Structure 1
Amino acid sequence: MISQKAKYALRALSVLARAEAGEPLQISDIADRQKIPKKFLEQILLDLKRNGMVTSRRGKQGGYLLLRPAGDITYGEVLRLIDGPIAPLPCLSITAYRRCEDCAGESDCEVRHVFARVADETRAVLFSTTIADALTSPRAMIAIEGAV
C-alpha cells in the first residue's frame, strides 16, 4: 500500500503537469485543487525539489513548476523517493536489499518466488507509467491503483 504522502506527491505532480508551460503554481493553489494540507504539501514539494523533479520561483508571480517533463517522471521513481523500496519483501528490494532473518535460503523459498513475480510486475507498471501517461489515460491510473 502506498502512503498518503506518496499519493499527495503524485497528485501534486499531476496538477503541475497540467499547468501552462513556464507558469508556476503556488502551494495554496495546488493544495486547494487536490485537497492536500498546505504544510504537508510544502514538505512534499521540498522533497521533490531536492530530487530534481520540481523547481520553485520566488516572488509575487512565484510558485512551483515541473523541472523535468511529465513524460520523464515515472510513478515508480516518485514512490521510491517518497516511500522507499518498492518490494513486498526485503530480500526482493533493488535499492535496500536485506536477507530475510527467518529464511534458510533464497533459492528454496517458495514465498520469495511468488512475491518476486509480484515485485517484477509491479515495478514494470510503475516504472513504465509516467505522470503524463496518467493524465492522458485514465486506464493507466486504474492499472496502477490495482497493481499497488
Structure 2
Amino acid sequence: MRLSRRSDYALRALFALASRYGEGPISIREIATKNDVPKKFLEQIMLELKSQGWVRSIPGRIGGFELAVAPDRLSMGQVVRFFDGILAPIGCVSSSDYEPCSQEPFCRFRRVLLDIRNFTTQLMDKATLASVLRGEPVRREEVFTAGDGI
C-alpha cells in the first residue's frame, strides 16, 4: 500500500489539529508551514475534511480550523479510505474495489497479499489520531534495521 499525497497531507493536517485538540483553531497557514504542505492544496483537502464532519472552520482574524470530532473517534483507516478508496495492495484482494484476475484460481502469492490487506486494515482501523499521538516518531535507523517489518 502506498498513500496518495492527498491522504498524506490530510493525515498531517489532522495530526496537527489533534495535537492541539481543545485549544482553539489553527490557521491554515500554520498547518501548511509546519507540515510542509502547499497551502492551496491544503485548502482543498481541508474542505474535504470539513465535508466529512471531521474538522470545522472558525471564521475571523484568529480563526482557522479545529477538529470537529474527538481524536479517539477518527482512525487513519477512515481517512485513507476516504481519500484513496482502498487499503488493498491490488484489486483482486479488495473487498470494496474488487478487480477480477484471470489467475485467481491458481495464484499462490494472492494469499500473502490478502494477509497484507487484512493486517493493514486492522492496524489502520485501530490507529486513532489519539493513539498515534501517544506514540513516538519513527527514528531513521528503525527504517533501515532488519526486523519483522521487512
Q: What TM-score, normalized to structure 2? A: 0.84
Tell me if 1:130 matches 2:131: no
Give distance in 2, aligned partners of 1:85 and 1:115.
13
SS of the residue corresponding to residue 66 of structure 2 reads strand
Matched with 1:118 is 116
Give distance in 2, aligned partners of 1:96 and 1:15.
31
**CA RMSD, 1 decimal:** 2.2
1:48 offset after TM fit, Å? 0.9
Aligned residues: 141
SS of the residue corresponding to residue 85 of structure 1 reads coil
Matched with 1:82 is 83
1:80 offset after TM fit, Å? 0.9
Matched with 1:24 is 25
Q: What TM-score, normalized to structure 1? A: 0.85
State percent identity of aligned pairs: 35
Give distance in 2, aligned partners of 1:13 and 1:137.
16
1:61 offset after TM fit, Å? 2.6
Residue 28 of structure 2 contacts residue 43 of structure 2 at CA under 8 Å; is this kept in 1?
Answer: yes
1:111 offset after TM fit, Å? 2.5
SS of the residue corresponding to residue 55 of structure 1 reads strand
Matched with 1:46 is 47
Which residue type is aligned with residue 13 of structure 1? L
Tell me if 1:5 matches 2:6: yes
> Displaced runs of 4+ in structure 1, greater than 4 A?
none
SS of the residue corresponding to residue 3 of structure 2 reads coil
Which residue type is aligned with residue 68 of structure 2? L
SS of the residue corresponding to residue 126 of structure 2 reads coil
SS of the residue corresponding to residue 65 of structure 2 reads strand
